Structure 1
């Protein structure tokens, strides 16, 4: 079978235009760069898509009002049926893992799992899903332990897979990084978005982009910002809270921070901005910050680097494989509790180290510029989607 004859069915909860996290970004570009190499079909959740080869699946009406994880499994069963005729299925995140595993059994084809995160390392999701967390954990565990190949998005993620699922044969795990489209993500010197959002270009700025979830570490950042120089403007592109509890915590901390700084010291945009608008905000930031306490790789760091913005990020998960410490950004050390939550052993120390790293970059604009330029070079040279598509195709070929 030639590559062009190979039918690959990619399965994901997210796919454009319904994208809210890194997995959806990954699927968008992986599908695009795989299409010249194979017959690619995409199965996703949500509303009907007009793109050829893409099928979206709504929630089963019979499960309306049921636990969210159970509704996900209902969609997965429909997707598994829709994969008939494929040569290989490739699922992304627990939301799609049950579909991939069921399709493997039903159609007798290999199943590849890409691990963007791991449920055992996100125990706080129990407060989001309730009993559904047991279901999400089941879907992920069964799929990973029975997959024909597991793609880890970083070496750090590979280590996490082996720790969380020790029965998995290490030889089945391949490291294939996430990537970045450096044509779409490149510096935008325009100011229309900046002006609309009220960002003051005469001030140094810290930019955060991400969902409001435990793993993104936003509460630690909000505490750290109290120790930043008074002229610094904090720009938060942060929305889609996982739970009312984390939403209330972040809201309270943001109010405290606003009260402690001047009127325009904190700009908080809670709606999801279009990609091109995020690019402009990243471009004009003095420094981008990623305070995550759990991050298998962190595509958002690559996005900032591609926009020539210096990055300060936690030295956890796959982040140190993306950011060259001292060359393209600054890594903040963190000693974490060994309970799967990623919680810092000494939260006050982590907050202080985060504030110190940010201050160091903010007070040295020439260094910030050098870090940004080096980050762009690294993004272009090391993380292209064409390379990632070829590496992924090699994984498929090894199973046929």
Structure 2
């Protein structure tokens, strides 16, 4: 098959970027031809709040000159217009609750614009894929509101493949790690409050970059046990996750988090927010701990609990590693190929 993937992000440690990177590798390994339109090869305005809108426009212009593809797979709502303009069977893969996240991060005005575009965009593809059952319900409800009953929605979660990375990087006796984009939707303010309450012998490593990076730098400068390491390559990130006792992810919004999947696969215990999406990945007190996202003290208590009880931590990590097998790229990649082939 000739496949065009369209995504506003392709490089970096963000969930969508990692998904695109691994999907390309999987498809090419299976013998398919893959091209991309992404911020790696398309002009964007590198300012928070303008990256996605600028990509929407410039990707659409580039898409007007693309032809001869069997499958056109847009990833994330800003890819939808470009997807629509390229001949071929069309799939829109949505990795979060788009307008809900915009509302949280950019306010009501931009949310109203994003919501209107989202309602139009989801009528364009032949199939929509979402990463969680919760997201499936969310978009089915939108479809019902706009009276679009012909929408085809299927669930394909994010995948994980860290088999090529085996190193372990342990730097402290009690090591907790947080990995992800440093933005409000990812719970940066929660992370800051948690950091301020941690005992001095618990060391928190923070990896990532984003619009709220300056806040994390300030916390790291004022706390000896908080270490901001910035953006790290995948191999270094996985080594640090594998070397940590706990992955901490206090997000406000999450569906199928790549960082959580990586920690599960590494055998690192997970403490994350109690959200509809995370409940599909983690069973509370069995394969991890889920905490109310509005309760930073609850995260600190959960960290202390698992650091003190190594047996419980080990049991949770083992259970999570078993559950992570269904998210392997051997499984997820085949789901994409089966979907592509079903449309031809």
Q: 1:87 aligns with which of 34, 50, 70?
A: 70
Corresponding residue for 1:382? 326
- Encode CA deviations 1:290-310: one digit per residue, 9 max, x unaligned: 111101210110111222111
Relative to 1, partners in 2 of residues 1:206 and 1:151: Cα closer, same or farther, differing over 3 Å? same
Residue 46 of structure 1: CA displacement?
4.1
Q: State the SS of the aligned residue for 2:285.
A: coil
Q: State the SS of the aligned residue for 1:289.
A: strand
Query: TM-score, normalization: structure 2?
Result: 0.87
State how far apart, in whole Å, the 1-side matches of 2:204 and 2:23 are: 33
State how far apart, in whole Å, the 2-side matches of 1:268 and 1:250 are: 7
Corresponding residue for 1:73? 56
State how far apart, in whole Å, the 1-side matches of 2:12 and 2:113 are: 23
Corresponding residue for 1:236? 206
Greater C-alpha radius of gyration: 1
Structure-to-structure mapping, 1:62-141, within 5 angstroms:
68-103=51-86, 107=87, 109-122=88-101, 123-126=103-106, 136-141=114-119
State how far apart, in whole Å, the 2-side matches of 1:152 and 1:392 are: 12
Residue 8 of structure 1: CA displacement?
2.2
- Encode CA deviations 1:196-247: one digit per residue, 9 max, x unaligned: xxx3x3x212110111111111211321344434421111113222xxxx45
State how far apart, in whole Å, the 2-side matches of 1:131 and 1:325 are: 36
| 1:217 has 2:177 as partner | no
Relative to 1, partners in 2 of residues 1:222 and 1:57: Cα closer, same or farther, differing over 3 Å? closer
Task: Indicate the RMSD between aligned Cα atoms, in angstroms.
Answer: 2.8
* Counterpart contact for 1:125–1:133, Cα < 8 Å: no
Query: TM-score, normalization: structure 1?
Result: 0.76
Residue 90 of structure 1: CA displacement?
0.7
Q: 1:300 aligns with which of 231, 256, 259?
A: 259
Relative to 1, partners in 2 of residues 1:38 and 1:7: Cα closer, same or farther, differing over 3 Å? farther
Q: Please, which moves more after superposition, 85-94 or 134-143?
A: 134-143
Corresponding residue for 2:9? 14
- Encode CA deviations 1:117-153: one digit per residue, 9 max, x unaligned: 23311213426xx977666555443221222111011
* Counterpart contact for 2:123–2:151, Cα < 8 Å: no
